[in-house]
Amino acid sequence: MHAKCRVLILDDNAGEADSLGEVIKLKGHDVRVCYAAVDALKVAAAFKPDVYVLDIGLPDFDGREVARALRAMHGPGQVLIALSGHVMARDVAAAARMAGFDHYLPKPADINELLALFPQC
Structural domains present in the chain: 6-116 (3.40.50.2300)
Q: Could you give the percent of the chain with pLDDT greater than 70?
A: 87
How does pLDDT run across 70-87, given as a tens digit for each residue? 888 887 789 999 988 765
H-only helix segments in the chain: 14-26, 37-47, 63-74, 90-98, 111-116
Phi then psi for residue 2, to 5 deg, are: -70, 155
How does pLDDT run across 93-106, given as a tens digit for each residue? 566 666 678 888 88
